[in-house]
Amino acid sequence: MRIISGFLKGKSINFLKNINTRPLKDSVKENIFNILKHSNFIKVNIKDSNILDLYSGIGSFGIECLSRGAQKVTFIEKNAAAADILKKNLIKLSITDKSKVYISTIENILNTNIIEKYNIFFLDPPFTDFKFLNNLKILKKNQFFCKNHIVIIHREKKAKDEIKDYLEIIKTKNYGRSKIIFGVFN
């Protein structure tokens, strides 16, 4: 895996090789960032944004954001092996000062540790996990979002999630087996 753009462009990041993790493909990641940068419907600039990366795994999305000038990324990952690789990636790339890593369930962290507001939310739950809808509910209820914000969710193309109960969906893009949903809290 590599970093696509920014001051860390071309640098590699380590990833976890097991059946429980599904790294975000570089091509999908690149398309997400192209939409963030060039779409008229998104009023958030990655540069200087505060980002919450949920189900962060090895951190490829958040690390890409830091490379592109994000102010700070908060990573939440419950898998200790993935979080360990994430921490090693942050150290290897010398970006620990712009990041915070929580190794716990998202619900636990959202209900106890989060007091900031975020511009960009990235959720990449396992395709079989539907608890992420509860996470959206907590984020919305506690208003962890800035006025200008965007929520990006990576799901399986066939998933029939009830996301509209929590977000106003702005755009959905399909890439192979993946579906990327862009929305804002309504």
**Cβ-based neighbour number of residue 87 at 10 Å:** 18
Stretch 13-36: mean pLDDT: 79
In the numeric block, the tokens 């862009």 are attached to 182
pLDDT at 144: 94
DSSP 78-114: --HHHHHHHHHHHHHTT-GGGEEEE-S-HHHHHHHT-
Q: How confident is the model at residue 115 (pLDDT cuts 50, 70, 90)?
A: confident
- In single-letter form, the type of residue at position 109 comes to I
Least Cα distance to 52 among 121, 99, 119, 106 occurs for: 121
0.85 exceeded by pTM: yes
Residue with token string 């921490």: 87
- List of domains in the chain: 26-185 (3.40.50.150)
127 phi and psi, to 5 degrees? -60, -25
- Tens digits of residue pLDDT in 50-78: 999 999 999 999 999 999 999 999 999 99
